[in-house]
Amino acid sequence: QLFYFDYVLGQEGLVGVVSTLNVIVVIPAVILTTYISKRVGKKMTAIIGTAGFSICELLNFTLFGGEVIPFLIVNTIGSMFLVIPTTVSWAFIADVVEYGQWQSGLRSEGIIYSSYSFTRKLSQALAGFLPGLALAMVGFKSNVEQTASTIVGMKFVFFGFPLIITILGLFIFLIFYPLTDKRHNQIVKELALREEL
């Protein structure tokens, strides 16, 4: 963010503004998550949030990422969408525990939760390492005016790469995650009949 704001938008101070806006949208996004989840279920709620974030990244990458005010508006909306799958993902942990128990007969909350926790920590570590590597790959050099190709590369690192990863995640989730709320309720009933709950 800092490099993009400084070298592309010419506004190094935007980091604080963006961080503040991201915090402001958390509470409305959590309320919205609850509302959507009650209407369409957890899986569809996560899909809606992820798709909304992807659209905002696409808009900033193609249209608005070079202008401060349009960028701030679209980025804030995108942040709000991103809170939705982040919030509902915690509910998936319990669903996966019961799904695993239904399949194997073993209830393994500890392994499932620690795997999720490890994955989050690994993602945070990669999030600290990969942007620096990506900036080097696009030709970024500190304290000099960036070339046109470097600016395009920085836009790709900031918007395009998250867009691709998010679409890939959305595809995997749509195809390989079978637990709708209806299916989860059936599993819970079967576990209750087997006296495993």
Q: Each residue of 78-88: b (16+ CB within 10 Å) or e?
A: bbbbbbbbbbb
Mean pLDDT, the chain cut into blocks of 10 residues (197 residues total): 94 94 96 96 96 98 96 98 94 92 91 92 90 93 94 96 95 92 93 79
Position 88 scores a pLDDT of 94
pLDDT of residue 15: 95
pLDDT at position 12 is 87
Task: Locate the domains of the chain by residue range.
Answer: 2-193
Looking at residue 183, what is its pLDDT?
A: 94
CATH class of 2-193: mainly alpha
Quick check: 54 and 170 in contact, CB under 8 A?
yes
Q: What is the 3-state secondary structure (H, E, C) of 8-73?
A: CCCCCCHHHHHHHHHHHCHHHHHHHHHHHHHHHCHHHHHHHHHHHHHHHHHHHHHHHCCCHHHHHH
What is the enclosing helix (H) or strand (E) of 171? helix 161-176
* pLDDT value for 196: 67
